[in-house]
Every structure is written in C-alpha cells, then in structure tokens.
Structure 1
Amino acid sequence: MSHLFQINRVLRNPQTQSILQRLYSAASTGSKEHIDKLVKNDKVVLFMKGVPDQPQCGFSNGMVQILRMHGVEKFDSHNVLEDEDLRQGIKDYSNWPTIPQLYLDGEFIGGMDIVLQMHQKGELIDELKKIGIRSALLDEAPKEK
C-alpha cells in the first residue's frame, strides 16, 4: 500500500474529519470559542469597521461617538475589516447581520440602530450602570430656562 493511499484513507476517516474540524474551529478567529473569549474580555466590547480613532464607516463612527458621549473611553474594539473570518463569525455568533455590534459584560446589546434608540431613550445609561460604568451624561447639569 502506498503512503499516499494510506494518508488519503486516514484523511477520509470520519473520526479524522471530526478532529480536524474541531482543531480548525478552535483555531479560527471566527469560531464561537474565539469570539466568546473576545466578548468576555472587557466590560465594553465593540466589533466595528476600523478602529475608534479612525472608524471606516458612519455607523461605526456613530457607535464610538455614543460611547464617548457617555464617557466610555476605555473599551475593547475589534476591526472586522482586518479579518474576514471574524467579520462573518461575529454575525453568526450574534445572529445579527450588520456591523458594528456592541457587547456589554459579554451580552450582545445590538447594532447601531438599537444602541442609538437606547441612547435616545436614556436606556443606555441604565445598561452601563448595570456593569459598573457611570454615564458622563448624568454629570451634565440641566439647563435652566
């Protein structure tokens, strides 16, 4: 039996296929395991196009601006434009089709539309408070009439 035939037979074995799939999944930046670690790495995690100092789309820029309005300067961000596996993986992970995506304390909050609504209704202040972050908007004095 030739070596090539033996290798081919081993690679076609269902057990080998399963092991290879698990190894690939664990190593892939788009894997559930990898993304799970990323979303739990910090209290505030943003998957975006670009980086906070140079967003590459208007929605990502809007998300960064909302966080900054609340005084959230320290957060973990991931540029999905640098990694196609991560870009698709985060969409699969959250079952949400668009980027940016915001996670607070490991929980998916939403995309720009949801976060903007929460910000406008004052709900984002409460969500930040739940994870120990006081919104800077609470520090603004009400304007006198």
Structure 2
Amino acid sequence: MDDQTKNLIQNHIDNNEVCLFMKGTPDAPQCGFSMAVSNMLKILEVNFKGVNVLEDQSLREGIKVYSDWPTIPQLYVKNEFIGGCDIVKEMYESGELKKVFDDKGINYKK
C-alpha cells in the first residue's frame, strides 16, 4: 500500500470517532454486509462516518492491508479496529457493542 492511501485511511480513522469502511454509503449501501453494519449503527443513533471503498480501488485494497482483515465492511471506534459484519452483529446482539461505546465515550441511543 502506498503512503497516500495509508495516510488517507489513517486520517479517516483519526478524524472520526466512529468510522465504517463500507461498500457504498450509509444512505445507499451497495452490499448487504455493509448495509447490516450501517443499520445497526443507525438503530443505535451513533454518529458515524461511512467511507465508500468502491470509489477508490487503492483504498478498497489498502484497508484490508491496514487492518490485516480480508473483508469489508470494517468498523473502527476511536482508532480501534472492532471487526467486520459478523463480529459487529454478534457484539450488537450481545450488548457488547454498547459497552464499547460506553467505554470510549461514544453517544448512542440507550
């Protein structure tokens, strides 16, 4: 991955408390997994930044290298990689995702 792509990814993560690298946008997801994670965040009324990896092939491949995670979507909360769709869904259902938001001081619908 080139430095420009790495810096772009780092800037998104640094400047957004909750950052979702996804296919499409929160309003128009282009993959079911991205839609699922986006919808969980919307249900919790979390303010998050959706980054559309389909707009840039180097970003799409770079995020996988950056996180050492092979799939998209990828959720970051306050610079910490949380996981992809299956992990976020499991955490959402168990209440663990709310605990992460509480621990990191992220506002959501209680």
TM-score, structure 1 as length reference: 0.71
Sequence identity (%):
48
Q: Answer whether contact 1:48 1:100 (CA < 8 A) is retained.
A: yes
Q: Note if 1:99 corresponds to 2:76.
A: no
Higher relative contact order (CA 8 A, sep 6+): 2
Quote the offset at 1:34 in angstroms.
Answer: 2.7
Runs ≥4 in structure 1, deviation > 6 angstroms?
Answer: none
Match of residue 83 from structure 1 = 56
Q: Which residue in 1 is equivalent to 2:105?
A: 132
Q: Residues 16-35 of structure 1 correspond to what in structure 2 (within 5 A)?
A: 25-26=2-3, 28=4, 30-31=5-6, 33-35=7-9
Which protein is bigger by CA-based radius of gyration? 1
What is the deviation of 1:99? Answer: 0.4
Per the alignment, do residues 112 and 25 of structure 1 end up closer, same or farther by CA in structure 2, a change over 3 Å counting? Answer: same
Work out the CA distance in 2 between the residues paired with 1:68 and 1:119. 12
Q: Which runs of 5+ in 1 are unaligned?
A: 1-23, 139-145
Q: Which ranges in structure 2 are unaligned for 5 or more consecutive residues? A: none
Query: What is the aligned length?
Result: 110
CA distance in 1, matches of 2:37, 2:20: 8
For 1:25, the aligned partner's letter is D
Which residue is equivalent to 1:122? 95
Distance across 1 between alignment mates of 2:107 and 2:48: 14
TM-score when normalising by structure 2: 0.93
